[in-house]
Amino acid sequence: MEQPGFTPSSLLVQWPVDVTDVKAVGDVYSVAGVGRRYVLKPINKGMRRARFICSLTEYLGRGADPLTPGLIRTRVGKLLTTESRRRHWILCEWIPGRTCDWADLGDAARCAAALARFHTQARDYCHLPHERPQAYWDRWPTRLLRRYEALRGFCAAAERAVQAGGAPYFDRMVAAQSARQLARAQDAMRVLAASPYRSLCAEYRRRGQVIHGDPAGRNFVATENGMVRIIDLESIRQDLPALDIAKLLRRVLKSHGWRTDVAMAVLSAYADAGGLDPSMLPVVYAFIAYPMKFSYDVRRYYTCAEGWAYRRHLRKLIKHLWGEKGKQRFLDWFGRDFARAPYAEADHAGGC
């Protein structure tokens, strides 16, 4: 993990902690101190971006009800220590508890509420000149169009392979799905183009909105007192909260068969904790509808980007195509009328 000359012991002397034990846990270290436990964690980013991640983490970790782990400053008062130009280290408190499980609707609702708090509190943070937030304002229509053109090319390649005969099962699956997935991508881009996406970007850009970027279950810790805290802010960026909401909702719904009552429960929990702008619902729809995972799968396969074995490509594709019928029923329901707030409508409480 470390470069020559950089060991946990050599790094930890820079913090004012009495270390009794250090253990590697994945790509981080669990550090036992006298009466406390910490995490020594690398941040593989440029200096200005690493500073932004650290300062926002510290900002959200303050107060009686902190949202993120508390950072421990070094002996000279810095939030991080630098190993190389793009590798830095932080020391933060260990959050006792468990990672959240999307199959548990209670966990999903609590995580949605924590995400709403994150969006609300991060909106007030003004970054310093020596920090660099990654900004995605107005980028998504162009990014999705580029991804769509690439996806169309990969689908055409799969269809040619099938027509030539003897195509592998992966190619046959892509060819069979190509019409549906391309149509779904077109629908997502159409809805995004018709939405108030650009005006929302202008509004939230003025407010300095920051989103988490990766609201996965592993990044939410349910503590013993029933609270949820958010960890791993390496993916934070300036963007619309709709992107986080869509990712969270998509991941939860995959664990619940794309049930509409689950969607309403999650959106209601988010709205109760931080408010949900109804004008953002078309953007949420667009990013749930766009076949992101399918696009990643075919790009990896046809460009050999990851160097994976064939079976791994196939397992990923099958996993991401599971529940397609349920997803389409959900999209048909969710996209009927964006003027309404679907999370508040009791008359649609049944599952799909």
Q: Answer with the one of 47, 64, 94 that is the final residue of a domain.
A: 94
Q: Is residue 133 part of a domain?
A: yes
The pLDDT of residue 340 is 47
Mean pLDDT of 53-63: 94
Cα–Cα distance for residue pair 157/297, rounded to 1 Å = 14
Q: 67-76, 121-130, 257-266: lowest mean pLDDT where?
A: 121-130
Amino acid at position 58, single letter: E
The pLDDT of residue 257 is 95
Reported as a pLDDT band with limits 50, 70 and 90, residue 264 is very high
Q: What is the pLDDT of residues 172-203, one digit of tens each?
A: 999 999 999 999 999 999 999 999 999 999 99
C-alpha separations of 127 from 32, 55, 237, 262 in Å:
32, 8, 12, 36
| CATH classification of the domain holding 306 | 3.90.1200.10
Q: Is residue 14 part of a domain?
A: no
| Residue 26 clears pLDDT 60, i.e. is over it | yes
Are 62 and 144 part of one and the same domain? no
Q: Is residue 256 part of a domain?
A: yes
| Residue 122 clears pLDDT 80, i.e. is over it | yes
In the chain, pLDDT over 70 holds for what percent of residues?
94
Sign of the alpha-carbon torsion through 309, 289, 272, 345 = negative
Reported as a pLDDT band with limits 50, 70 and 90, residue 126 is confident
Are 89 and 229 part of one and the same domain? no
Are 264 and 125 part of one and the same domain? yes
Cα–Cα distance for residue pair 225/174, rounded to 1 Å = 46
Please check whether residue 130 is in contact with residue 49, taking contact to mean a CB–CB distance below 8 angstroms: no
| CATH classification of the domain holding 53 | 3.30.200.20
Q: Answer with the one of 33, 66, 94 that is the final residue of a domain.
A: 94
| Residue 1 clears pLDDT 60, i.e. is over it | no
User: Taking Cα atoms as reference points, which of 192, 198, 213 lies closest to residue 137?
Assistant: 198
The pLDDT of residue 337 is 66
The pLDDT of residue 338 is 64
Mean pLDDT of 16-20: 94
- H/E element, 28: strand 28-33
Provide the 8-state DSSP code for 73. Answer: P
Cα–Cα distance for residue pair 102/210, rounded to 1 Å = 23
Mean pLDDT of 130-152: 96
Q: 18-22, 97-101, 124-128, 214-218: lowest mean pLDDT where?
A: 124-128
DSSP 186-229: HHHHHHHHHTTHHHHHHHHHHTT-EE-S---GGGEEE-TTS-EE
Q: What is the pLDDT of residues 275-307, one digit of tens each?
A: 899 999 999 999 999 999 999 999 999 999 888
Q: Half-sphere exposure (CA, 13 Å, Cβ side) for 274? A: 21
The pLDDT of residue 339 is 54
The residue assigned the tokens 């408190």 is 93
Are 81 and 168 part of one and the same domain? no
Q: Domain range spanning residue 61?
A: 19-94
Distance from CA of residue 122 to its chain's centroid? 16
In the chain, pLDDT over 90 holds for what percent of residues?
83
Q: Answer with the one of 71, 94, 117 that is the final residue of a domain.
A: 94
The residue assigned the tokens 């009794």 is 20
Tell me the average pLDDT of the chain: 92
Structural domain total, the chain? 2
The pLDDT of residue 349 is 38
Q: Is residue 178 part of a domain?
A: yes
